[in-house]
Protein backbone atom coordinates (compact mmCIF):
# COMPACT_ATOMS: atom_id res chain seq x y z
CA UNK A 1 0.00 0.00 0.00
CA UNK A 2 2.93 2.36 0.72
CA UNK A 3 4.38 1.76 -2.73
CA UNK A 4 1.01 2.35 -4.39
CA UNK A 5 0.53 5.62 -2.49
CA UNK A 6 4.04 6.69 -3.46
CA UNK A 7 3.45 5.84 -7.14
CA UNK A 8 0.04 7.52 -7.24
CA UNK A 9 1.36 10.65 -5.54
CA UNK A 10 4.17 11.01 -8.05
CA UNK A 11 1.90 10.41 -11.02
CA UNK A 12 -0.59 12.94 -9.66
CA UNK A 13 2.17 15.51 -9.23
CA UNK A 14 3.32 15.14 -12.83
CA UNK A 15 -0.24 15.52 -14.16
CA UNK A 16 -1.11 18.41 -11.82
CA UNK A 17 2.11 20.28 -12.62
CA UNK A 18 1.47 20.14 -16.36
CA UNK A 19 -2.13 21.29 -15.79
CA UNK A 20 -0.93 24.18 -13.62
CA UNK A 21 1.37 25.42 -16.37
CA UNK A 22 -1.42 25.20 -18.95
CA UNK A 23 -3.96 26.98 -16.71
CA UNK A 24 -1.75 29.66 -15.17
CA UNK A 25 -1.62 33.09 -16.70
CA UNK A 26 2.14 33.36 -16.39
CA UNK A 27 5.08 31.03 -15.68
CA UNK A 28 5.82 32.67 -12.33
CA UNK A 29 2.39 31.83 -10.94
CA UNK A 30 2.60 28.28 -12.24
CA UNK A 31 6.07 27.96 -10.74
CA UNK A 32 4.76 29.05 -7.35
CA UNK A 33 1.93 26.50 -7.48
CA UNK A 34 4.16 23.65 -8.57
CA UNK A 35 6.83 24.69 -6.07
CA UNK A 36 4.29 24.42 -3.26
CA UNK A 37 3.27 20.95 -4.47
CA UNK A 38 6.90 19.87 -4.72
CA UNK A 39 7.57 20.95 -1.15
CA UNK A 40 4.96 18.47 0.04
CA UNK A 41 5.98 15.82 -2.47
CA UNK A 42 9.50 15.67 -1.04
CA UNK A 43 8.09 14.29 2.23
CA UNK A 44 6.36 11.47 0.35
CA UNK A 45 9.29 10.93 -2.03
CA UNK A 46 11.69 10.43 0.88
CA UNK A 47 9.34 8.95 3.48
CA UNK A 48 7.70 6.20 1.45
CA UNK A 49 10.95 4.64 0.16
CA UNK A 50 12.56 4.83 3.60
CA UNK A 51 9.56 3.00 5.11
CA UNK A 52 9.68 0.42 2.32
CA UNK A 53 13.40 -0.02 2.83
CA UNK A 54 12.88 -0.75 6.53
CA UNK A 55 10.08 -3.21 5.77
CA UNK A 56 11.81 -4.96 2.87
CA UNK A 57 15.18 -5.13 4.62
CA UNK A 58 13.70 -7.60 7.09
CA UNK A 59 12.14 -9.62 4.26
CA UNK A 60 15.42 -9.58 2.30
CA UNK A 61 13.80 -8.96 -1.09
CA UNK A 62 16.86 -7.75 -2.95
CA UNK A 63 15.07 -6.35 -6.01
CA UNK A 64 12.78 -4.15 -3.93
CA UNK A 65 15.65 -3.02 -1.70
CA UNK A 66 17.71 -2.00 -4.73
CA UNK A 67 14.81 -0.11 -6.35
CA UNK A 68 13.99 1.70 -3.11
CA UNK A 69 17.63 2.60 -2.46
CA UNK A 70 17.91 4.19 -5.93
CA UNK A 71 14.64 6.05 -5.32
CA UNK A 72 15.94 7.48 -2.04
CA UNK A 73 19.01 8.77 -3.87
CA UNK A 74 16.81 10.33 -6.58
CA UNK A 75 14.50 11.93 -4.00
CA UNK A 76 17.34 13.40 -1.94
CA UNK A 77 19.08 14.77 -5.03
CA UNK A 78 15.82 16.22 -6.37
CA UNK A 79 15.10 17.92 -3.02
CA UNK A 80 18.53 19.57 -3.09
CA UNK A 81 18.09 20.73 -6.67
CA UNK A 82 14.61 22.07 -5.94
CA UNK A 83 15.98 24.08 -3.02
CA UNK A 84 18.55 25.60 -5.38
CA UNK A 85 15.83 26.36 -7.96
CA UNK A 86 13.73 28.04 -5.27
CA UNK A 87 16.71 30.17 -4.23
CA UNK A 88 17.29 31.12 -7.88
CA UNK A 89 13.68 32.23 -8.27
CA UNK A 90 13.95 34.44 -5.18
CA UNK A 91 17.31 35.99 -6.09
CA UNK A 92 16.50 36.44 -9.77
CA UNK A 93 19.74 34.69 -10.81
CA UNK A 94 18.53 32.21 -13.43
CA UNK A 95 21.78 31.24 -15.14
CA UNK A 96 21.37 27.52 -14.55
CA UNK A 97 17.60 27.44 -14.03
CA UNK A 98 16.78 25.51 -17.22
CA UNK A 99 19.42 22.86 -16.63
CA UNK A 100 18.45 22.36 -12.99
CA UNK A 101 14.76 22.27 -13.88
CA UNK A 102 15.43 19.57 -16.46
CA UNK A 103 17.46 17.48 -14.02
CA UNK A 104 14.76 17.88 -11.37
CA UNK A 105 12.08 16.78 -13.83
CA UNK A 106 14.09 13.71 -14.84
CA UNK A 107 14.63 12.79 -11.20
CA UNK A 108 10.88 13.07 -10.56
CA UNK A 109 10.16 10.76 -13.49
CA UNK A 110 12.86 8.40 -12.18
CA UNK A 111 11.17 8.34 -8.78
CA UNK A 112 7.80 7.52 -10.33
CA UNK A 113 9.41 4.73 -12.35
CA UNK A 114 11.09 3.40 -9.18
CA UNK A 115 7.74 3.50 -7.40
CA UNK A 116 6.12 1.59 -10.26
CA UNK A 117 8.98 -0.93 -10.13
CA UNK A 118 8.52 -1.32 -6.38
CA UNK A 119 4.78 -1.91 -6.80
CA UNK A 120 5.46 -4.52 -9.47
CA UNK A 121 8.23 -6.24 -7.47
CA UNK A 122 6.14 -6.36 -4.31
CA UNK A 123 3.11 -7.72 -6.17
CA UNK A 124 5.24 -10.35 -7.89
CA UNK A 125 6.48 -11.82 -4.62
Q: What 3-state DSSP class applies to 96?
A: coil
Nearest-5° angle of CA 2, CA 75, CA 46?
40
CA dihedral 4, 7, 13, 16 (to 10 degrees): -70
Give tens-digit pLDDT for 7-42.
999 999 999 998 988 888 788 888 888 888 988 999
Predicted local confidence at residue 70, as pLDDT: 95
Predicted local confidence at residue 64, as pLDDT: 87
Give percent helix, percent strand, percent coil of the chain, each to the nearest 5.
90, 0, 10
Tally the domains of the chain.
Answer: 1
Q: What residue numbers bound the domain in which 28 lies?
A: 2-124
Amino acid sequence: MIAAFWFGGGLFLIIAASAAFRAAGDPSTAGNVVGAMLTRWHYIALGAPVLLLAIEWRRMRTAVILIVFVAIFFAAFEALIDLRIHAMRISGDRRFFGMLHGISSLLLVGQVLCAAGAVAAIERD
